[in-house]
Structures are given as structure tokens and as C-alpha cells.
Amino acid sequence: MRIGIGYDVHAFAEGRPLILGGVRIPYESGLIGHSDADVLAHAIADALLGAARLGDIGEHFPDTDKRYAGADSLELLSHVAELLQESGLRIVDVDAVLILERPKVSPHRDEMRRNLASSMRIPIECVGLKATTSEGLGYEGRGEGVSAQAVALLSEV
Ligand code: MG
């Protein structure tokens, strides 16, 4: 068995769509990033890469590379899942938490889990997802950005 941890942060900006776990969530602003800035998919991808000892998302999908401008992060996650498979590793379980003050994301939780699971080609039961506020503290609490943390468990095939 191998374990990995992932963490990511993106800042809010007006005029951007808010995409979390591949779901476009109606809100007054969205997250800034070179790709679609899906902070949740990025944290999970880093947890998987960490567990596989395959570096990190910045190495695989550099933000200086035009190919990844506006990229669908679920596709990046899917690519990471393929790399793991090529390395003889199977994704056993993933759990993640989103930290944000607003908007409320719980109505979208299962759709996010479904998207993430299908891009990793694992059952939805193997993807845990929670959301929390930071009680008004820090950048998440001030509504300046969103952070995400994830853990992944892999096994050798
Ligand atoms: Mg990111």
C-alpha cells in the first residue's frame, strides 16, 4: 500500500467560472488559474502522484505550457490515473476536503464525487468529499480563495 497527500489553493476573481470537482457552480466569481483552476481536482491529482512517487502536478502540467491553458482538470486527473495504471498501481481510496466560506457546495457534493470517480475510473464509493468553512479566519474565511486537501491510498496491482 502507498499513501499520498495533496494540497492546493486558488484565489477568487470576478469574471471566472467556479469549477469544483468538475461541476460549474453558480457564483459571483470563480477561481484564477492557468487551467480551469479546479482546486479539488488538483489536490486529488497531487495526492495520487505523491502516493505513486511520481512528482507533482506542476511537473506534469506546467502552467507555462500553453497546452494546459484553460484545461479541464478532470482530464488532467484522468491522465494521472493512467500514469498510475502504467506504473502498476491501483487507486484504492481517496478522501478530500474543500475549505471555503461561500458558496455552499454541499448540494453539488455527489455530482463532484461522481465526476472525480469517473475520471479516475474508480467506484463513487471510493471517493470521499467534505466541505468546511474556516470560521471566517484566513483567506478562505475572507472569501479570497478556496483551498483543498486530499489523501489517496494506492495498492500495487
Ligand atoms: Mg492548482
- Render pLDDT for 19-67 as a digit per residue (tens, 0 to 9): 999 999 999 999 999 999 999 999 999 999 999 999 999 999 998 999 8
Q: Is 14 left (phi over 0), alpha (psi -120 to 50) or beta?
A: beta
Instruction: Give the length of the chain.
Output: 157
61 alpha carbon to ligand 1 midpoint, in Å?
A: 10
Residues with CB under 5 A from ligand 1 (ion): 8, 42
End-to-end CA distance of the chain: 10
The pLDDT confidence band at residue 81, using thresholds 50, 70 and 90, is: very high
45 alpha carbon to ligand 1 midpoint, in Å?
A: 10
Q: Cis bond leading into 26, ω under 30°?
A: no
Q: What is the pLDDT of residue 45?
A: 98
The pLDDT confidence band at residue 16, using thresholds 50, 70 and 90, is: very high
63 alpha carbon to ligand 1 midpoint, in Å?
A: 9
3 alpha carbon to ligand 1 midpoint, in Å?
A: 20
58 alpha carbon to ligand 1 midpoint, in Å?
A: 8
Q: What is the pLDDT of residue 134?
A: 97
CA distance 107 to 111: 9
35 alpha carbon to ligand 1 midpoint, in Å?
A: 8
- Whether residue 151 contacts residue 97, with contact meaning beta carbons closer than 8 Å, is answered with no
Burial of 50 (0-12, 13-18, 19+ CB in 10 A): buried
Q: Does the predicted model carry a pTM greater than 0.85? A: yes
